Amino acid sequence: MEHLPAHDIDWVSAPAENFTGEVKFGELSKHGPLNALAVQFTLGARTHWHSHPEGQVLYVTEGAGLVQDRDGPTVEIAAGATVFTPADQLHWHGAGPNTTMTHLSLTTGGATEWTTRGVTDDEYNSR
């Protein structure tokens, strides 16, 4: 068993080429096939369009935000919400315009596949 106290989580800034705004990652697991991250988004911060080879589960722990896949409307999410994105489905997620958001991101099957396109303000505001 390994125990990682909250104060020992190493928070690092997310790469600017894949995010809009200030986002930080805290790696929660360094073992096995599960990639588990805590992700903190500041007001209006969001991912760029991306997908995951085997899908993704998000669990919102604090605040509220937005999520959208390439074929659907923008959906509001808040603390306690779970979002499942199937394998290879293009999507984005981030904080709302007036609130921060922290979520857990759970993936397996390899690295996130990023597009070269960020989420436009029109896409972000299309609720």
Give me the tens of pLDDT residue by residue for the chain, a chain 127 residues long: 888 888 989 999 999 999 999 999 999 987 778 999 999 999 999 999 999 999 999 999 999 999 999 988 999 999 999 999 999 999 999 999 999 999 999 999 989 999 999 999 989 988 7
DSSP annotation of 21 reads S
Q: Quick check: is 118 in a domain?
A: yes
In a domain, 3, yes or no: no
Q: How many domains does the structure of the chain reveal?
A: 1
pTM for the model = 0.93
- The whole domain housing 89 covers 10-124
According to the 3-state scheme, what is the secondary structure of 25-42? EEECCCCCCCEEEEEEEC
Residue 1 included in any domain: no
- The answer to the question of residue 102 being in a domain is yes
The Cβ-side half-sphere exposure at 118, using a 13 Å CA radius, reads 14
Q: Is residue 4 part of a domain?
A: no
Residue found under tokens 């589960």: 57
**Contacting residues for 60 by C-beta, under 8 A, at least 6 apart:** 77, 78, 79, 80, 81, 82, 83, 101, 102, 103
CATH code where residue 43 lies = 2.60.120.10
User: Residue 47 falls within a domain, yes or no?
Assistant: yes
**Position 2 in a domain:** no
Is 113 a member of any domain?
Answer: yes
Contacts of 30 (CB under 8 A, 6+ apart): none
